[in-house]
Structure 1
Amino acid sequence: MNSQNIPVIVITGGPCAGKSTALNYIPEKLWAYGISSVTVPETATELLMNNVRVNQDGLSQSDFEYHLMMMMIEKEARYLEILKNYPNNKKVLICDRGLMDARPYLSPGEFEAVIEVMGLSTGQIFQRYSAVFHLITAASGAPSFYTKENNNARIENVEQAIQKDEENKNAWTGHPHLRIIDNSTDFEGKMKRLLQAICHHLGVPEPLEIERRFLVDPISASRICEHIKVAKVPIEQCYLKSAKDGHVRVRRWGDQGSASYYRTIKRRISEGTRTETESSISPREYFGAIQNEKDERFEIIQKIRHCFIWQNQYFELDIFTEPEWCRGIAILEIELTNFNDEVLLPPFININSEITGNKKLGNRELARKR
């Protein structure tokens, strides 16, 4: 679908979160930075405002979500083809919501059944989008600004809006690049933080990865599911023969039958900060890279990633299973837009120490053969 490897991002969020404003503000700002964009309009509102009635006239919720997602796929493909014709080399497709936004309206079994009929898995849906930006509803943190007047399809009160916001965040939990934009500043500041996060993802001025890492007590890590809703993702990654100024890896994200595959080049800038260039690859390219490019000084890493949201922060807790010498090691990570961003650590995880910048506990060194 995306032969030019154009980034496809999702802007989503709860009711009255500022999404409509953002979808006007972001393209204008990106244009000033020399980035062309096209926006795929929201499909659910389009259907509901044109007399498509759910649970009436024989249209069940499952049928509605099926047609909704099929329309989204068709629209995303068509808008992407249009964007490909733009002469600018810097482009991004912006989606007003993505396929996973349908998930809260169905039971887990119903959603899995619908996407199976569509020939998709959760991993394949995640791979469609290079990043997801969730705007927190004004009902959470700024209730005096919550209104239903600017969207005829909005029916939720404050409590319902907060619940819908939580369901939407949970639907996207597990995506490798989910960013949450809260109401900790005024609305102008919220839009600027969204722009900063999108520019950070698109590599304006360059694609930096800024993260903090913490070594976690293994017993505490193993009990995380007792405290919070978690999306578990099996990850396998292999380090390849690299250029002198950078490291290259390939990664399988998810179960083998429904996984996403990525190739990543990282170069260290400073402690906790690296440039990162990531692209989606096919299963054939992934296994071909392992067969032909694997750096034999390193073993293949396997780990279970536990993705969760705490205080509107997106955390990833990795518990390593292979190779044998790092089995049971647990590392908590959070990716930041700025290194000075405040991090509120979850109290139900026992942190042994911060290991940001500790090369010996980096994934690459953990993979090094003993």
Structure 2
Amino acid sequence: MEGNKGIHIFYKLVLTGGPCGGKTTGQARLCTFFENLGWKVFRVPETASVLLGGGIKFADLNSEESVKFQENLLKTMIQIEDTFFELGKTCSRNCLIICDRGAMDASAFVAKDKWESIMRENSWNNVELRDNRYNQIIHMVTAAKGAEEFYSTEDHNCRSEDVELARELDTKAAAAWVGHPYFDVIDNSTDFEGKIRRMIVSVCHKIGLDTGDRLLKNSRKHKFLVEGPLPDDSVFPPFQDFEVVHNYLQSNSPNQVRLRKRGQKGHYSYIHTVRRQNQPGGQVIEVKTQIAHRDYINLLTQKDNSHFTIYKRRRCFIENNQYFQLDIYEQPSHPRCRGMILIETYSALDDQQLLKTLPGFLNIKKEVTGNPDYSMYNLSLREDWKTSKKFCRSVTDFRRLYNWYIASLHVRHT
């Protein structure tokens, strides 16, 4: 981990793994998490996808051509990475660089003797390419190992592997990085959300960031309604404010597809999210993909006109060792959103303990976790909820909300 004049953190991370391991969603979640903390995040694209997207097919290459392709792929990857690394070194704030696969991944597709020949001819060595080039390696295990019911290739243009091949590629990719001093394997021992959280925790721990209990396996998202007006900015702990714009796209029920534009001072990131419901095991899966501005503009043509665009100011801060996101809904939007303020956090605390960690400088009225009246999807609907067929009715845990209310009365009187 490097610093800028010994002050700013410069951290180079490789996300690798087998097909359908959560790498794409993991990148998007890491990006959001660290940007919310005020970090600069660069994402190095997967070089193989760039080249294969140009029409190259492995099946068309003979043995010699295949080795030469891997050598040139590695040269291209190193050059692209070095460009981002130089930017990271001169960054004026903490900087995370996420590499979509790294130099050693190429060795998984080349025989050992051919790989050693490539190393010699280019004056490279495994220690420099594997151990010294990156701060941390995270291997996201393919869903084909332990979560077979979720394994799919339908959302990836360059992916066609069956389950057995996916397992083989996963094993080879993991073996390529064995020996790196900070190599973490994130398996499928929890559900997908737990897997992503464990990945983020691993990065935070290596960097030395205290996430509290926000990312523990048994933590869950809590949402609360806040009554305005908000106190003066000086009352808040250090925070980062972001402009956030959400648009829902046309989709087949019960799936939801949305675009998010998020940024500061005229600089934005763009996320495409597909929310799939009624998944095996009762899970709701969200696949988040970071996209370019051009793709964002193109996808906006698919906007669902039955929904308003949602505009928010998002304030991110840490209070009482809890990480909070405060969403202030802004105009233009449906009148039902006027003046609405919601705050979210992830926590494994019980209700009474969580109440004590909530920001005391905010007027928090009630918990609305799971309440469909506070779902962004429903809030953006143009139609009247009483007559709309698109209103999404989720199961609200009224017993938990009742317990929260009782707990709040207890805390207020102690």
* TM-score normalised by the chain length of structure 1: 0.53
The residue type paired with residue 203 of structure 1 is G
Separation in 2 of the partners of 1:189 and 1:35?
Answer: 23
Q: CA deviation at 1:140?
A: 0.5
- 1:71 aligned residue: 76
Which residue of structure 2 aligns with residue 100 of structure 1? 104
Structure 2: how far apart are the matches of 1:146 and 1:56?
Answer: 27
Alignment of 1:186-265 (within 5 A): 186-205=191-210
1:177 aligns with 2:152: no
SS in 2 for 1:171: helix
How far has the Cα of 1:55 moved from its partner?
6.3
AA at the equivalent of 1:21: T
State yes or no: 1:145 paired with 2:150.
Answer: yes
Q: 1:36 aligns with which of 40, 47, 63?
A: 40
User: After superposition, what is the alpha-carbon deviation per residue over 1:203-250, rounded to whole angstroms, capped at 9, x for unaligned?
Assistant: 1039xxxxxxxxxxxxxxxxxxxxxxxxxxxxxxxxxxxxxxxxxxxx
The count of corresponding residues between Structure 1 and Structure 2 is 204
Task: Give the Cα–Cα distance (whole angstroms) in 2 for the partners of residues 178 and 37 of structure 1.
Answer: 21
- Does the Cα contact within 8 Å between 2:3 and 2:89 map onto a contact in 1? no
CA distance in 2, matches of 1:119, 1:205: 40
Structure 2 distance, partners of 1:57, 1:23, is 31
Structure 1 counterpart SS, 2:119: helix
The CA deviation at 1:7 is 1.9
Measure the CA separation in 1 of the matches of 2:58 and 2:192. Answer: 33
Structure 1 contact 14–161 (Cα < 8 Å) conserved: yes
Q: Which of 6, 12, 16 lines up with 2:10 in the alignment?
A: 6
Distance 1:78 1:167, change over 3 A: same
The Cα of 1:85 is off from its aligned counterpart by 4.1
Displacement of 1:187 in angstroms is 0.7
- The one-letter code sitting in structure 2 at the alignment partner of 1:68 is L
Partner of 1:83: 88
- Unpaired runs of at least 5, structure 1: 207-370
Q: Does residue 1:109 correspond to 2:88, yes or no?
A: no
Aligned with residue 24 of structure 1, among 24, 28, 35: 28
Q: Which residue of 136, 139, 160 corresponds with 2:165? A: 160
Q: CA deviation at 1:54?
A: 3.7
Please give the secondary structure, in 1, of the residue aligned with 2:157.
coil
Q: Closer, same or farther in 2 for the Cα pair 1:125/1:57, shift >3 Å? A: closer
Unmatched tracts of structure 2, length 5 or more:
212-414
Find the structure with the greater CA-based Rg. Answer: 2
Cα displacement string for residues 28-72 of structure 1 (whole angstroms, at most 9, x for unaligned residues): 101122322101000001101111244647771111111111011
CA 1:185–1:57: 2 relative to 1, 3 Å: closer
Q: 1:195 deviation in Å?
A: 0.3
Report % sequence identity.
34
Q: Which amino acid aligns with 1:7?
A: Y
Letter matched to residue 137 of structure 1: T
Q: CA deviation at 1:82?
A: 2.6
Equivalent in the alignment of 1:367: none
What corresponds to 1:337 in structure 2? none
More displaced, 107-116 or 45-54? Answer: 45-54
Report the CA distance between 1:3 and its aligned residue: 7.8
Q: Contact (CA 8 Å) 1:55, 1:61: kept in 2 or not?
A: no
Report the AA paired with residue 197 of structure 1. S
Q: Does 1:46 align with 2:50?
A: yes
CA RMSD of aligned residues (A): 1.9
